[in-house]
């Protein structure tokens, strides 16, 4: 070996190594590695059980049984000679089919699996005793009934067995089917407009209710905030301080504070006892479009055209987090006491769920194809809805699983969403239309067309914000014709007098 190595080039050494490898493995080159027969048998048995477990308890029809032909005459009662009957039986007998040898090793291995004869297994299940020579691991069919020999099984297997016993051996009876019934919408009373108040000199952009349900506030593009009495609709006070449109309002349920945000990049805290600004939160680089309060913590959440959702400490005015990740305007913010505590919708068509402890993104939902302009959470369920120009979609919390779209499309840019305890979802579009939906089924049962204020243009028929009061029985809409609308359900409505729009269950669902 030393003589071979000395003075040899690398190429010569490679050739010598290849020659030795060829001499070692040339005898069985190309021969596959033999598989363990027991392992393959177990593997095939598991596969057969998984694929055909729902139909293995079916017994084949008797050899002589044959369904009658369509249109065949009823059997005659005229006696037939014995010789003719024997000849007919021989003619009807099917020729024996010769057994064909399996062509593959897998097929031959399947034939060696110990499977009981189905008729013997059915006889055992009915209580006739064990069949002799049954192999270990044989498939035992499920027998419907409540006797001592009836095995216990899940409810689905029992139901399938009952169907088979009553309606015969149909493959359609044992096939797994998805739920074919879309939930029917519950009846809701239609809503009507009963009051319109005016006082703003520009578009009404935002609305917020007093936790005591006595008054509400509206913000407008005339740079003012007006407080209105909910019962009478009279103006209580006008607050000034912003130098641009007021696009966000929120009233704290634990403090005598009201928060406002506008396109002047300012976020203000108002003392409602003194009716003046006591704090300003500086940090946004552009206009602020959305504002929300954390329900349990003293935090203020704002989002705007700088593509950032900023978290402020209510008392110290310190910016706790700058939740960055969106690539366009943050148009809607949703906050809840449990994770995810912050949900944002943006014009970059995504919805982000944030981990407030780390200040990072928990999940990103990319189901929308257009800008997400509105978010609304159900007050009693762990679900929320989002809206844009493409559709209204429902998601499940805390994971953000997509549930379904609404069954119809509003054909407008949806600017606002609101849900009450009666499962009534309302959406307001930029064309002034208000659509009322059944929250559970996604069915639109009422469509309210806009009626602009006299003297306004038809193009000013738009709804920028809408909100229910604390009881859910009053709806306030903020319109582009500088008015504020009051709506409530029709008092004497019934399902017979006001059936609503017809419900048509979806033929196929879009999963995006």
- Write the DSSP string, 267-312: EEEEETTTTEEEEEE---SS-EEEEEE-SSSSEEEEEETTSEEEEE
Domains of the chain: 113-173 (no CATH), 191-489 (2.130.10.10)
Three-class SS state of 5 = helix
pTM: 0.65
pLDDT 10s digits, 254-301: 999 999 999 999 999 999 999 999 999 999 999 999 999 999 999 999
Per-residue pLDDT tens digits for 351-403: 999 999 999 999 999 999 999 999 999 999 999 999 988 899 999 999 999 99
Distance of alpha carbon 451 from the chain centroid: 35
Residue 330 tokens read as 């943050």
Strand order in the sheet with 224-229: 204-209, 215-220, 224-229, 235-240
Q: How many residues does the chain have?
A: 512
Which ranges in 168-288 belong to alpha helices (H)? 171-174
Distance CA(260)–CA(265), nearest Å, equals: 11
User: How far, in Å, CA of 182 to CA of 187, rounded?
Assistant: 15
Return the number of other C-beta atoms located less than 10 Å from residue 159's C-beta. Answer: 12
pLDDT band at 131 (very low <50, low <70, confident <90, very high): very low
Element (H, E) at 335: strand 330-335
What pLDDT is recorded for position 114? 62
Position 349 confidence tier, pLDDT thresholds 50, 70, 90: very high
User: 3-state DSSP call for residue 159?
Assistant: helix
Q: Looking at residues 222-236, what average pLDDT do you find?
A: 95
- Collect all residues with Cβ–Cβ distance below 8 Å to 142 and sequence separation of at least 6: 57, 125, 151, 153, 157, 161
Q: What percent of the chain has pLDDT over 90?
A: 55
Supply the pLDDT for residue 129. Answer: 45
């Amino acid at each position: 070996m030393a003589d071979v190595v000395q003075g040899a080039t690398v190429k010569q050494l490679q050739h010598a190594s290849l020659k030795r490898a060829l001499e070692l493995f040339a005898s069985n080159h190309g021969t596959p590695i033999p598989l363990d027969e027991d392992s393959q048998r177990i593997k095939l048995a598991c596969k057969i059980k998984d694929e055909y477990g729902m139909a293995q308890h079916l017994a084949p029809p008797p050899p002589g049984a044959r369904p009658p032909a369509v249109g065949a005459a009823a059997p005659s009662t005229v006696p037939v000679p014995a010789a003719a009957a024997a000849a007919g039986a021989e003619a009807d007998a099917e020729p024996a089919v010769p057994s064909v040898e399996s062509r593959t090793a897998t097929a031959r291995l399947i034939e060696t699996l110990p499977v009981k004869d189905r008729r013997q297994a059915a006889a055992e299940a009915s209580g006739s005793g064990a069949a002799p020579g049954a192999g270990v691991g044989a498939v035992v069919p499920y027998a419907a009934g409540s006797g001592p020999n009836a095995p216990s099984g899940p409810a689905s297997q029992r139901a399938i067995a009952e169907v088979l016993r009553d309606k015969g051996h149909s493959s359609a009876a044992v096939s797994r089917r998805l739920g074919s019934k879309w939930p029917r919408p519950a009846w809701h009373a239609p809503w009507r407009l009963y009051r319109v108040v005016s006082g703003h000199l520009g578009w009404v952009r935002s609305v917020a209710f007093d936790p005591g349900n006595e008054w509400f506030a509206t913000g407008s593009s005339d740079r003012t905030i007006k407080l209105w009495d909910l019962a009478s609709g009279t103006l209580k006070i006008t607050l000034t301080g912003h130098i641009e449109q007021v696009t966000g309002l929120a009233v704290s349920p634990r403090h005598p504070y009201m928060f406002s945000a506008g396109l002047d990049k300012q976020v203000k805290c108002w003392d409602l006892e003194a009716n003046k600004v006591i704090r300003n939160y500086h940090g946004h680089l552009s206009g602020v479009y959305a504002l929300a309060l954390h329900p349990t913590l003293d935090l203020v959440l704002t989002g705007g055209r700088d593509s950032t959702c900023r978290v402020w400490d209510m008392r110290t005015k310190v910016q706790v987090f700058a939740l960055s990740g969106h690539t366009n305007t943050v148009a809607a913010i949703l906050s809840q006491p449990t994770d995810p505590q912050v949900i944002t919708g943006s014009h970059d068509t995504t919805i982000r769920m944030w981990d407030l402890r780390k200040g990072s993104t928990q999940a990103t939902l990319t189901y929308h194809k257009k800008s997400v302009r509105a978010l609304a959470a159900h007050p009693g369920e762990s679900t929320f809805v989002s809206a844009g120009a493409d559709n209204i979609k429902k998601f499940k919390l805390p994971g953000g699983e997509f549930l379904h779209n609404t069954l119809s499309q509003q054909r407008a840019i949806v600017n606002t969403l609101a849900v009450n305890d009666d499962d009534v979802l309302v959406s307001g579009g930029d064309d002034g239309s208000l659509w009322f939906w059944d929250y559970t089924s996604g069915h639109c049962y009422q469509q309210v067309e806009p009626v602009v204020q006299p003297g306004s243009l038809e193009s000013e028929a738009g709804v920028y914000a809408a909100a229910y009061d604390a009881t859910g029985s009053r709806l306030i809409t903020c319109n582009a014709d500088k008015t504020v609308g009051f709506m409530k359900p029709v008092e004497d409505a019934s399902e017979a007098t006001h059936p609503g729009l017809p419900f048509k269950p979806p033929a196929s669902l879009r999963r995006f």
